[in-house]
Structures are given as structure tokens and as C-alpha cells.
Structure 1
Amino acid sequence: MSRVSTTGNFQSALLNLMASQQQQADAANRVSTQKNATDLTGFGRSSETLTALKAASSRVQGFIDTGEVVGARLEAQDLALNQMIDGIGGAREAIGGVLASDSAGTLMLELEGQFASVTGGLNARHQGGYLFGGANTTQQPVSVATLSDLAAAPTVAGTFNNDTIKPVSRVAENTSIETGYLASDLGSTIFQIFKDIKAYNDNPATGPLTGKPTDAQKAFLTAQLSRLDAAKTATVDTASRNGSLQKRVEQIGLSHTGQLTSLDEMVSKRTDADLAKAVTDLQLSQIAVQASAQVVSQLRDVSLLNYLR
């Protein structure tokens, strides 16, 4: 025969009330957070899987962030390279105009402007640093500003301040790509052409390039056209490669976005609460709390001492 005591009844009723309150709190948390738990402990054996999925998501998100930064840099480089292409093309048009019109009156002035366009592209900045300076992003890659400065430099190589380290970006697992260029690589050839033209103009034996050009001057300028064509072609090729890199980085980014979405869905299946079930559980737990509280209240009036009296 089981012994029935007032203390035992109270303890049993209180335990039921506490259990119902805990169930109510758990259900309320699921409804408010829309998650099955608020920490890894609440997921039990699934916590290790969730940790691995979260780590993978963070790694993929890191690659996405890197891809966005690299994409912005490549876009800035595209603008700078096209500015250089325009400057080289403008120089060629100026020389072609001289040969067509048989007048070199404003040639050097026009070339000065096109040289400024080229140097402006080489000294382009992005996010506070110089694009084509290599690792030296705080100093202008090109140290000359005018054709006179260029002509005064002992060598073309001495007009560049960039180092030899090209930027490399890790955009995916086991995938690193060279995303930057050096001013000296981009500008040496075209600078040499500008330097030669300036030297020819300043040489009393051959210049100046003003008025009606002589046959010797025409021959010299004609030779510069082919050099400018080659320099422009090389710069266009670099811009095309830069565009290809942009496309590749964009495609890698899309792939990473798909991976991240898939990982988020896998995490969501393990962490997101069934709201319909959570609301139902909350309502049932509220009823259970009310019932347990009513039992405890009734037990205050139910005591074996009342029967002993």
C-alpha cells in the first residue's frame, strides 16, 4: 500500500508546475526567436554539425567579401587603363593630324596634354592607395608630371617609384590570382616614346616640331605612329586581361553565393523552429501551467490534518 502525505502531494504538484513553466518558456523562446534553441547546447548532438556548417559559411562569406574588394579594384584599374588608352590614342591622333595637315604648330602642346592623361591613369588611386604602385601604395608610381620632367630624367626607369610586388588575391579555396599591375610595366614603353619625341623636338639639329614639318621630321613622326600603335595594342591587351579577371571574379562570387545559400539552408533546417508547432506547444504549456497552479492552490485546502480532526 502506497503512503500518501501532504508534503509528497505538494512536491509532486510543484514539480509538475515547474516542468510546465519550463515548457512554456521553451515554447515562448521558439516563437520569439524562431529558432529551436539559442545556443549550441540546446541542439544536442547536432551541435557539432552546426559548428562545421557555420565555419564553412564564415569561410565562404570571407571569400565573397574578398571578391567584392577585388572586383572594385579591377573596376578602378579598368578606368585607369582606359584613360591610358585614350592618352596614347590621342597622341597618335595628334601626330596623324600633323602629317595630314602638314602643320605641327600645336603638336607639342597636344602631346603634353596626352602625356598628362597617361600619367594620370598610372597615378590612379583606389581606396586611398595608388593602384599601380605594387606594395608601395602611399607614393605616386610616376614621379614626373610634364614632358620636360621626363626629358630631364636620365632614364625612363628612373621616373617610376613602384616596387616589384604585384597584388595577389585569394578568391577561393586553392585559388589565388594576380589582380594588379605595375606602373613601370604599363608605362615604360609609352614614356620612352614621349621622351624620344621631346628630345627630338628640343634638339636644335632636328627640331623644333613647329610650323611646316620637314621631310626628316615627317619620317620621324611616321615612325612614332607605329610605336604608338604597338603601345596602344599592349595597353588594350592589358585592359582585356583585366576585364577577363573581372568576369572570373564575378563568376567565382556567384558560385560562392550559391554555396552560402545552400549552407544557410542546411543550417536553417537544423535551427529554425516549426512556428505552427511552437505556437501550439506554447498554448498547451500555458494550459498545463494554469492546471498545475490550480492543483497547487487546491492542495492548500487539502490536508490530512483536516481528516484527523
Structure 2
Amino acid sequence: MANRALEFGVVMISSGCTPEQWKVKCRRAEDLGYDVIGVPDHLNLMSPFPSAVLAGAATTRARIATYVVNSNLYNRALLARDIATTDLLLDGRLELGLGTGYVEREFEAAGIPFGTPADRVAGLESAVTGLEELLGAEDSPLPVQRPRPPLVVGGHGKRVLRLAAHEAEVVSFTGAPFRPEFGRTGLVDAPALRERVGFVRRECAGRTAPPVFNVLSKQTVLTTDRRAAAAELGRYAPDLGVDQLLEVPTLFIGTARQIAEQLHRHSEDFGITYFTVMEPALEDFAKVIEQVR
């Protein structure tokens, strides 16, 4: 996987904008060299599937991703219809990210039990394993990409990563499990993430086409003082020191050239070849893309 060309995605975020404003943002992302334009799924943001369709209408080359749909909030048959319709309207450019959901108040607002982490993982497993059958149902729209669009599944727990290793075309490593001592998620260090990468490699060893490895950056900071910037990002991992923060693949810190070198190291060391940032880093990370290409 280290020999694979690096790819770059950006997750666009909006709680509301005009069609033209959305299209301008998506065109900008494509013009800057991003390979994938992602749309998230949270109740305080615009709905992912209409947003994905309009992103596709504004662009010509980029894949359009749901990054990621909370599968536990959706009726399975209706979700399959939305997926098929979106892939049709994108002419086969949809990249389908599915997740468990993790924001309890969103489940409450939707009138759906939040359940335990195991409950939510079981719901994701059900959605993933039943998707091909639902997408091929009679009298239903069929996606362009058969039997389904390429699937992105990610997380840090072994049960979710096992599912991703067996079923997904892209495994996304969050490197950020829920930490009870912090009351929220926290980044793990590089050795802990490397252990999870090894776990996925073992789990997918029998596959003809191994999955692509992806990571979502929690923060991208262009700076000439890497150590000072890392120290300011300690909130993402209160138990990690500066040297550890500089090594985790989920923080991009340094000059554009230094971050580009970091990505190449992560490609060699972890097999990560697909890097995603959030929209606030759109312009800064584009400088890194220029260095890589």
C-alpha cells in the first residue's frame, strides 16, 4: 500500500448556505487538487445526500463522499434508496461512508434509542451487510456502481475495524477512542495506532483487493515552530507529550514541506495513502498537496 499514489479529501461543513455558495466552495476544493469532497451527517448541518448531489453538479473530477452517514438514524430501505439515487445523480462518483453515530442528543432528537456502543456497532454491521441486497431490490433505483458504491468504514475499536477490514474499500483510522477519564475522545499515540493498523492488515489478509487506509486530520497547522504548535494542541490528547503529538498521523503540523514529508512517512510506516482534512484547513492543506504533487 505504500506504493499507492497519495489521495486527499476535504469534508465541507455548512449549517446553511445558498446553492451558489455551496457550489463555489466545492469548485474551489476541486480546483485546489482535492480528490474527494466529503459531506458530514449531523442534525445541525445540511442533509448529506442533497449536499452531495449539488457538490457533484458543481464539479467534474472529484469523488463525492458521505463522511460519514450515521447509519443508525436511517430506515434501511430508505437509506438504500438515497444511496442509489445519489450515485445515479453523481454518475457513479459517490463514495459511501457509513458510521455508528456518536452524538447522543442527535439520537434523542430523532426519537431513536442511543443504546450502548455495542448496540450502535451492531446497527452499523446490519446496515453494511444488508446493503447489497437492498440496493438490488426489485422496483428500486439501482446505483451506477455495482453492487454498491465503494464503502468507507472507520473507527478505533476492533469490532468496527474488523467490519471495515472485511467489507469496506476504505478503512478510516480515527485514532481517537472515547476516553472516560476525559469525558470525550482523545488521540492515541503512534504505537497504539500502528497496533490497530496491524490488526486490520491481519483481518483483511485474505482479500483479493486490500482496502485503502485513510485518516482524518483533527487539526492542520502551518507553522515554522512545530513544537510550540504541538504544545497548543495538547487538548486533543492530554496524556501525550509534545514529541508524541508530533508523531501521530491525525495531526498535521509544520511547514507545507514538513507536512508533506510527514504524509510520506505515514504512507511508508502505516500504509495510509488517503488523507482527509476538515474545511477550515482547505486552503492551508492545499499548500501541502502542491508539495506532494
TM-score range, shorter chain: under 0.3
Q: From the CA coordinates, give the structure whose radius of gyration is larger.
A: 1
TM-score scaled by length of structure 1: 0.21
TM-score scaled by length of structure 2: 0.22
